Amino acid sequence: MEPNSQIRSDFKAVLAEHHTLFEFLNTYKGVPVICRAALKKVTDQGVVFQVRMPEAAALEKAKTTQILSDGLLEPIEARAVSFDPETGTVVLGKFAYSGSKILNRKEMRVEPAERMEVKVECDQKSCVGVLRDISMRGIGVQIAPKDGSQFSQNKAIDLTLQLAGSEIKMPGRVRNLNQSGDQLRLAVEFTGPSPEKSLVARYILNRRSEIFYELREIYAPLELSK
């Protein structure tokens, strides 16, 4: 039996045993958002859940989610077939086992609210890129492909950027490079102890609060219309 059919069959089985409590894991602008969900029924159109707002607004934006249980089922990836935020009803389909994908969502990695430049230095050369996301372990930087010839996997680099109103400098190492169209993305891991890490932590926590506020604002008009 192919995975989509097998997973639907599994949901029917756990529903018959009155196991209805699940969690959906999504990321919104890099922040992991957990939404509690109750399994209601399994239909030909998909599997129906009742979800809680405003956390479920992250699902509405992403259109896909990771379904987590208490270990009864493996983590499952699914796509929203339909979503009614007023009633908190979502129908999911196109199921697949998450496998290693779920591991990539354990670390909080936030996206900046506005354009932020990052100076990248390597072998006495430098270029300026754009910050795409940041975590306590590293950052994603987008640069022009013409500047990419000086970088390679495991290359030691130095980073300079503005965070929380202060200029910080961090040593790093290129973990991988990924080109898409006319842009090259550097995945950079911070290396060595640094007093600047406290500023990184402060920025991430503040940005997370802003992102959660954005989710509440998305849901606010629906609350007022009730």
CATH code of the domain in which 60 resides: 2.40.10
Asked if 15 and 89 sit in the same domain, the reply is yes
**CA-to-CA dists, residue 138 to 44, 70, 130, 175, angstroms:** 44, 31, 14, 10
Asked if 126 and 204 sit in the same domain, the reply is yes
Asked if 44 and 71 sit in the same domain, the reply is yes
Give the integer Cα–Cα distance in Å for 9 and 27: 27
Q: Which residue has the tokens 């990695």?
A: 109
List the Cα angle 59/141/191 in 5-degree steps: 105
- For the record, the structure tokens of 126 come out as 């430098």
Q: Residue 100: what pLDDT?
A: 56
Asked if 140 and 191 sit in the same domain, the reply is yes
Asked if 45 and 73 sit in the same domain, the reply is yes
Give the integer Cα–Cα distance in Å for 197 and 32: 21
Q: What is the CATH number of the domain that holds 194?
A: 2.40.10.220
Give the integer Cα–Cα distance in Å for 48 and 54: 18
Q: Residue 157: what pLDDT?
A: 95
Element (H, E) at 199: helix 197-225
In the chain the first and final C-alpha atoms are separated, in Å, by 44
* pTM of the entire predicted model: 0.64
Asked if 87 and 145 sit in the same domain, the reply is no
- On whether residue 214 sits in a domain, the answer given is no
Asked if 15 and 85 sit in the same domain, the reply is yes
Q: What is the pLDDT along the chain (226 residues), one digit of tens a residue?
A: 578 888 888 898 888 888 899 999 988 888 888 999 999 999 988 999 999 888 888 888 888 999 998 766 788 999 999 999 889 999 999 999 887 555 444 457 889 999 999 999 998 899 999 999 998 788 999 999 988 888 999 999 999 999 878 899 999 999 999 988 788 999 999 987 677 787 888 888 788 888 888 888 877 665 555 5
- On whether residue 112 sits in a domain, the answer given is no
Q: Residue 193: what pLDDT?
A: 66
Asked if 101 and 140 sit in the same domain, the reply is no
Distance from CA of residue 90 to its chain's centroid? Answer: 20
Q: What domain range includes position 59? A: 3-105
Give the integer Cα–Cα distance in Å for 137 and 188: 9
- On whether residue 224 sits in a domain, the answer given is no
Asked if 95 and 153 sit in the same domain, the reply is no
Q: Residue 82: what pLDDT?
A: 94
| Residue at which a domain ends, from 35, 70, 105 | 105
- On whether residue 139 sits in a domain, the answer given is yes
Q: Residue 105: what pLDDT?
A: 47
Total residue length of the chain: 226
Asked if 71 and 138 sit in the same domain, the reply is no
Asked if 83 and 122 sit in the same domain, the reply is no
Give the closest residue to 176 by CA, choosing from 154, 157, 191, 158.
154
Asked if 84 and 11 sit in the same domain, the reply is yes
- For the record, the structure tokens of 26 come out as 């999504």
